[in-house]
């Protein structure tokens, strides 16, 4: 019998509670204390003030299981064995309290004793110049499992200046058959074989504008471990989707889509399961589908998940039916979900219905555009054609791009952007006011800041900078 995720989550928090940490509940996926971020993408986000010594809270060591959402990994979902958009990050933190020695010892103890992970399969990466941590790890783990790496993976920065420091990551070797097969494949390879489970960040420096690293007066610890990866590792599963957090959702999706047993672990089904969890949690934290900001990201992943159904010949709403499976696996850890089931289901269903209507009309037109390009031997669809599809029929540009690429065609992106700009200018020129009495404030603001362009989706990589 597999060890359940709910038990592992509780054991983690219990372990750190026993080590004097205050257990702090997860923050919302909309970061409450940081307006600069679109989503909470790591456990440390809610503790930024504590790290900077600006919090009034009295605790100096805490632990949490934080709901996270990362769009930076969106294109990997289903294709790697370890990436998710929505995941839970287990973490322990120190604000000027314990430091490297305790962090390393506790991480090793928790993984090898409490979780019984095999010591011989674990690797530890350290920052190449961090001799202090090298000494600590050598007293804990075999020397041949400690690997020095460079700043790309093992040095954390919050920005160009400010708090930063080396980190250690703990990886588990999932076996040769899960790797890329390259003769140089090792713990520094980005394939799935050496699964990164825990990142331990030692925030000990304050980088000055001239690049100099000054010692911080109060050193901090920030760790993050994906619950799903840990659950997979503990149960000897080679894939995060092969755990109790996903199986019920994937099984129900397979039933609905009438997928036979052998096709039940495809990247499409995995994507459906991941996105259904994300959609459920994003809505439960108050985000609604819309055309901008967080709502746009939600809309996009919901539509993406729904579109996978078409691959199996299924043309009806079905993501709303998976919400209750997500609830089954998560409700005990997030009891606040329970009053929201009907509401989330109906928001998802309405959005699905709306999108299927748009899809139907737009897809037929897009197919004829694609066919006509193909018949002429052309492989780049003009921006004008794609913009018309978007502007007149509401067919999303990114979806047109995906469908075009499935058919071996590309889209003239510059052409699309210039069509979009022309249309914006036309509509601005035609605008006679919205009926509001006083828009002076907005015009002053506009003069100061210029046009506001939502770049959150394209620039999503910034979000993951926190760990």
Residues that bind Mg ion (CB under 5 A): 196, 199
Q: Does 277 participate in binding ligand ATP (rule CB under 6 A)? A: no
Q: Shortest CA distance to 295 belongs to which of 60, 114, 457, 58?
A: 457
Out of ligand ATP, Mg ion, none, what residue 206 binds, judged by CB under 5 to 8 A for its kind, is: none
- Least separation, in Å, of the C-beta of 465 and Mg ion? 11
Specify the residue, 55 or 464, whose C-beta has the smaller distance to ligand ATP.
Answer: 464
Out of Mg ion, ligand ATP, none, what residue 86 binds, judged by CB under 5 to 8 A for its kind, is: none
Backbone angles phi, psi at 21, to 5 degrees: -85, 140
Q: Does 362 participate in binding ligand ATP (rule CB under 6 A)? A: no
Chain mean position to CA 197: 15
Out of Mg ion, ligand ATP, none, what residue 226 binds, judged by CB under 5 to 8 A for its kind, is: ligand ATP
- Least separation, in Å, of the C-beta of 153 and Mg ion? 6
The count of residues interacting with ligand ATP (CB under 6 A) is 18
Q: What is the distance between the terminal CA atoms of the chain, rounded to a whole angstrom?
A: 33
Measure the CA–CA gap between 150 and 139, rounded to whole angstroms.
Answer: 22
Specify the residue, 198 or 387, whose C-beta has the smaller distance to Mg ion.
Answer: 198
Q: Shortest CA distance to 145 belongs to which of 211, 208, 194?
A: 194
Out of ligand ATP, Mg ion, none, what residue 249 binds, judged by CB under 5 to 8 A for its kind, is: none
Chain mean position to CA 428: 36
Measure the CA–CA gap between 147 and 352, rounded to whole angstroms.
Answer: 48
- Least separation, in Å, of the C-beta of 323 and ligand ATP? 20
Buried b (16+ CB within 10 A) or exposed e, 192-208: bbbbbbbbbbbbbbbbe
Q: Does 9 participate in binding ligand ATP (rule CB under 6 A)? A: no
Tokens 């037929």 map to which residue?
364
- Least separation, in Å, of the C-beta of 232 and ligand ATP? 10
- Least separation, in Å, of the C-beta of 402 and ligand ATP? 21
Out of ligand ATP, Mg ion, none, what residue 67 binds, judged by CB under 5 to 8 A for its kind, is: none
Specify the residue, 323 or 467, whose C-beta has the smaller distance to ligand ATP.
Answer: 467
Out of ligand ATP, Mg ion, none, what residue 229 binds, judged by CB under 5 to 8 A for its kind, is: ligand ATP
SS3 annotation, 223-264? EEEEHHHHHHHHCCCCCHHHCCCCHHHHHHHHHHCCCCHHHC
Tokens 């993984």 map to which residue?
111
- Least separation, in Å, of the C-beta of 454 and ligand ATP? 23
Are 423 and 387 spatial neighbours (Cβ–Cβ below 8 Å)? yes
Out of ligand ATP, Mg ion, none, what residue 416 binds, judged by CB under 5 to 8 A for its kind, is: none
- Least separation, in Å, of the C-beta of 226 and ligand ATP? 3
279-338 residues in contact with ligand ATP (CB under 6 A) are: none
Can you spell out the DSSP letters for 270-293?
HHHHHHHHHHHHHHHTT----SSH
Measure the CA–CA gap between 113 and 380, rounded to whole angstroms.
Answer: 57
193-252 residues in contact with ligand ATP (CB under 6 A) are: 196-199, 224-226, 228-229
Specify the residue, 34 or 192, whose C-beta has the smaller distance to Mg ion.
Answer: 192
Helices (H), 312-439: 319-330, 341-375, 383-393, 397-406, 413-429
Out of ligand ATP, Mg ion, none, what residue 27 binds, judged by CB under 5 to 8 A for its kind, is: none
Q: Shortest CA distance to 344 belongs to which of 406, 276, 292?
A: 276
SS3 of 55, please? coil
Q: Does 117 participate in binding ligand ATP (rule CB under 6 A)? A: no
Residue nearest to ligand ATP (CB): 226
Tokens 């994937």 map to which residue?
250
Specify the residue, 207 or 229, whose C-beta has the smaller distance to ligand ATP.
Answer: 229
Specify the residue, 70 or 207, whose C-beta has the smaller distance to ligand ATP.
Answer: 70
Specify the residue, 83 or 303, whose C-beta has the smaller distance to ligand ATP.
Answer: 83
54-113 residues in contact with ligand ATP (CB under 6 A) are: 70, 73, 82-84, 87, 89
Measure the CA–CA gap between 157 and 164, rounded to whole angstroms.
Answer: 4
Tokens 């067919």 map to which residue?
395
Specify the residue, 9 or 82, whose C-beta has the smaller distance to ligand ATP.
Answer: 82
138-197 residues in contact with ligand ATP (CB under 6 A) are: 196-197
Can you spell out the DSSP letters for 179-204?
S---TT-STT-SSSSEEEEEEEEEEE
Residues that bind ligand ATP (CB under 6 A): 70, 73, 82-84, 87, 89, 196-199, 224-226, 228-229, 464, 467
């Amino acid at each position: 019998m597999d060890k359940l995720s709910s038990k592992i989550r509780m054991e983690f928090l219990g372990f750190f509670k026993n080590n004097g940490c205050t257990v702090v509940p997860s923050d919302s996926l909309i970061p409450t204390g940081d307006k600069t971020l679109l989503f909470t993408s790591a456990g440390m986000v809610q503790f930024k003030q504590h790290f900077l010594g600006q919090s009034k809270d009295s605790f100096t060591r805490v632990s949490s299981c934080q709901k996270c959402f990362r769009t930076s990994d969106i294109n990997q979902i289903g294709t790697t064995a370890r990436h998710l958009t929505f995941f839970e990050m287990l973490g322990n933190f120190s604000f000027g309290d314990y430091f490297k020695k305790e962090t390393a010892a506790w991480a090793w103890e928790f993984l090898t004793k409490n979780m019984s992970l095999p010591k011989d399969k674990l690797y530890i990466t350290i920052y190449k110049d961090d001799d202090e941590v090298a000494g600590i790890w050598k007293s804990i783990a075999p020397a041949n499992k400690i690997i020095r790496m460079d700043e790309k993976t093992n040095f954390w920065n919050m920005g160009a200046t400010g708090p930063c420091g080396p980190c250690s990551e703990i990886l588990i070797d999932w076996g040769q058959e899960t790797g890329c097969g390259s003769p140089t494949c090792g713990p520094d390879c980005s394939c799935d074989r050496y699964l990164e489970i825990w990142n331990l960040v030692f925030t000990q420096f304050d980088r000055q504008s001239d690049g100099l690293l000054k010692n911080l007066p109060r050193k901090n610890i920030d760790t993050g471990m994906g619950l799903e990866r840990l659950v997979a590792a503990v149960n000897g599963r080679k894939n995060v989707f092969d755990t109790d957090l996903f199986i019920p959702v994937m099984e129900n999706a397979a039933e609905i889509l009438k997928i036979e047993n052998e096709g039940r672990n495809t990247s499409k089904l995995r994507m459906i399961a991941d996105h259904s969890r994300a959609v459920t949690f994003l809505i439960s934290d108050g985000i609604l589908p819309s055309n901008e900001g967080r709502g746009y990201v939600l809309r996009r992943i919901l539509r993406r998940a729904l579109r996978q159904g078409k691959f199996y010949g299924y043309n009806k709403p079905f993501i709303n039916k998976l919400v209750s499976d997500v609830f089954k696996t998560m409700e005990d850890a997030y009891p606040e979900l329970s009053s929201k089931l009907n509401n989330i289901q109906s928001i998802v269903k309405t959005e699905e219905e709306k999108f299927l209507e748009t899809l139907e009309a737009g897809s037929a037109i897009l197919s004829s555009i694609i066919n006509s390009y193909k018949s002429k031997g052309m492989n780049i669809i003009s921006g004008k054609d794609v913009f018309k599809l978007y502007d007149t029929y509401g067919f999303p540009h990114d979806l047109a791009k995906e469908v075009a690429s499935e058919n071996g065609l590309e889209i003239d992106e510059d052409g699309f952007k210039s069509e979009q700009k022309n249309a914006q200018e036309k509509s601005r020129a035609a605008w006679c006011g919205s009926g509001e009495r006083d828009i002076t404030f907005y015009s002053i603001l506009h003069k100061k800041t210029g046009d506001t362009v939502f770049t959150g989706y394209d620039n999503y990589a910034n979000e993951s900078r926190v760990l």
